[in-house]
Homo-oligomer: A and B are copies of this chain.
Amino acid sequence: MTKELGIALLGLGNVGAGVVKLLEDNAAAITARLGARPVVRAIAVATAGKKKRLVEVDPALLSTDLASTVARADVDIVCELIGGEQEARVAVLQAIAAGKHVVTANKALLATHGEEIFAAAEARGVDVYYEAAVCGGIPVIRVLREGLASDRVEWFYGIVNGTSNYILSEMAAHGRAFADVLKEAQQLGYAEADPTLDVSGGDAAHKLAILAMLCFGTTVDAAAIPKDGIDALDPIDFRYAAQFGFVIKPIVLGRDHGGRIELRVHPAMIPDHWMLADVPGAKNALYVHSYALGPSMYYGAGAGMMPTAMSVVSDVIEIARNIAANAGGDRVQRHRSLERKPALPVADVRSRYYLRFSVEDRPGVLGRLTTVLGEHQVSIRQVVQDVPDAGAGESGPVSVVVLTHEAREGDVRAAIDVIAKSVVAPTRVIRVMGPP
């Protein structure tokens, strides 16, 4: 008789329904790989009634009691798929206390309470897996934790928020305004009713904090990661980007400066012939540069019901193998050496920059801009003044676009502060990044 593996699902939304469906669809193969049959024993939901759900489940499995669901004697693994921070934190800690292994897709939870959760899991000798928390179905957590276990990650770029990537892709392809694309994305279900976490960079910062933990062995205060949203981008910036051979992508960056850790979240201009520029629509990718391997890239679906469920169930399978091999708790060791490394201050970031100044079209203006930049050690690579502001008359303000060589952000900001007196609208600053 095949052994059974008891699973409790917390949440039966998009991802929870995907887990139920995938366990059914690939049941034979998964059972063969596990050496045990995975059985969903309980599903915690917000309302247990006869609600219309994405998959059909036995109503007897449903419960609104999180605490008793995670502690059931017939459950080996708890999959936390409710999202949010507080309720999920309590449920996960209760599951760990009850000796259950945990799989979670919750980046906000791990970015904010990861230390507490991993410490509790280590103390209790259980596993916490979270492949679905970053880049959805792309197995980047396994790649970094095991595939590159012998290597040292020097830096990485990622496109980790599919909603932002979708919006910027649409803005670039059709010259549309941010608000217009966002509205459509909400109607299509690609963006949340409250899109703040996606478009402000908050969701990306959570994922970046988790990646930094894995790559650099540091804990991170996700709220303190410098971030720019994508909502300030204007169609004119996409036109300039195309003119310079760039595309604008929502980027997270992590870099280890030998102790000080540089982390940032913002839209960036990257070369249009670079592989990361080809990541379309709502897809995600992680481009990693490590000491021994050099550059490598991992691409795929960063969200969606089945891709995310795939990562959750692959985590379940790995935990089940650990259980079968009596190796529970082994994985937790990888976080043992976490420490809080100092962050590189934004002022010390070095980057190339796209600066778009809105100025009156008067003699001497260009000279004044370039002089101020030079006085602040910001060296100019290219200046363009040939695309008039949309709707501006002949005597109205014009855009002056400057591409800089690599400069220190503190110097760039200081120069822009001085220039502020000479411009008619706030200066647009977009970082320019690319393969070295």
A residues near B (Cβ < 8 Å) are 18, 22, 25-26, 29-30, 32-33, 35, 131, 137-139, 142-143, 146-152, 273, 275, 278, 290-301, 306-307, 309-311, 313-314, 316-318, 321-322, 324-327, 329-330, 333-334, 336-337
The reply to whether B151 and A26 contact each other, CB–CB distance below 8 Å, is: yes
A-B contact pairs, 15 of them (CB 8 A): A18-B292, A25-B292, A30-B149, A32-B337, A137-B293, A137-B296, A138-B296, A139-B148, A146-B146, A150-B310, A150-B317, A275-B275, A292-B310, A296-B299, A321-B330
For the complex with contacts A22-B150, A292-B310, A322-B325, 20 further pairs of A-B residues with Cβ separation under 8 Å are A26-B151, A32-B337, A33-B149, A139-B146, A139-B148, A142-B142, A142-B143, A143-B143, A143-B147, A146-B146, A147-B311, A148-B314, A150-B314, A275-B278, A290-B310, A295-B300, A297-B297, A297-B300, A298-B299, A325-B326
Which B residues are CB-close (under 8 A) to A317?
Answer: 146, 149-150
For A142, A292, A296, A311, the residue with the greatest tally of chain B CB atoms inside 10 Å of its CB is A292
Question: Nearest B residue to A324 by beta-carbon distance?
Answer: B330
Looking at A146, A147, A291, the one whose CB has the most chain B CB atoms below 10 A away is A147
> CA of A313 to CA of B306 in the docked complex: distance in angstroms?
33
A297-B297, A297-B299, A310-B293 are contacts. A318–B142 as well, Cβ < 8 Å?
no
CA distance A300 to B298 in the complex (A): 9
A25 to B295, CA, bound (A): 18
**A138, A294, A296 — which one has the most chain B CB atoms within 10 A of its CB?**
A296
- The listed residue with most B CB atoms (<10 A of its CB), out of A293, A299, A330, is A293
- Among residues of B, the one whose C-beta sits closest to the C-beta of A142 is B147
A18: chain B residues within 8 A (beta carbon): 292
- Whether A142 touches B146, Cβ cut-off 8 Å, given contacts A300-B295, A301-B293, A325-B325, is yes
Min Cβ gap A436→B in Å is 15
Is the beta-carbon distance between B310 and A300 smaller than 8 angstroms?
Answer: no
Q: What chain B residues lie within 8 Å of A324 (beta carbons)?
A: 330
Closest to A309 in B: B292
Known: A25-B291, A296-B299, A301-B296. A310 touches B146 (CB 8 A): no
